[in-house]
Amino acid sequence: QAHSPGSQRLVDHSLWDRFLRTYRRLRSDRVPLLPYGEVASAELELLDEYLSLLAATPVGSLDRPEQYAFWLNLHNALVVRLIERAYLVLSIRDIDFGDGTPWNRPIVEVEDRRLSLGDIRDRILRAYWRDGRVHYGLCYGAVGSPGLLGEAFTGANVDRLLDEQALDFVNHP
């Protein structure tokens, strides 16, 4: 819940933005895909660096739009990294941790709190923003769900990108 209205602090999403611009592709029917088998190991190291940067971010010092972008990007980058680690898995639901699915097993720590993908989606994004567009901003690693955008969310573009993604998804044949 903590945030800093009017904060000028920005999160650097350039590594994630670069990753998306490099690897995200559109099929001929405009469905976004990520060719996991083509991702270079050096790029995965940069993705890990980005996730570490996010985990170390004092989220409470950000204003709400910057927080919104932070949580959307964190969720999506975690989904991509999980799938990449289990490459050749048919579904993210098939990733077996032995003690839970990726949706309910804590996989990241932010501000001393262990969080799962479900925590980020339900206890943070849906609970605090109460914005139906959040569904269109989250990647689930499945062709039938909203796909990754071609750029990172930022505090300045989060509303515009969510609007565009929602319109694109609901109007896609």
Q: List per-residue pLDDT tens for the chain, 173 residues long.
A: 777 788 898 999 999 999 999 999 998 888 888 888 899 999 999 999 999 999 999 999 999 999 999 999 999 999 999 888 766 565 666 666 566 666 788 999 999 999 999 999 999 999 999 999 999 999 987 777 888 999 999 999 999 999 999 999 998 88
Length of the chain: 173
Are the beta carbons of 135 and 146 closer than 8 angstroms? yes
Q: How far apart are CA 34 and CA 48, in angstroms?
A: 17
Q: How far apart are CA 86 and CA 128, in angstroms?
A: 31
Handedness of CA 46, 107, 114, 153 (dihedral sign): positive
Residue 123: left if φ>0, alpha if ψ -120 to 50, beta else—which one? alpha
Residue written as tokens 């945030």? 3
pTM attached to this predicted model: 0.92
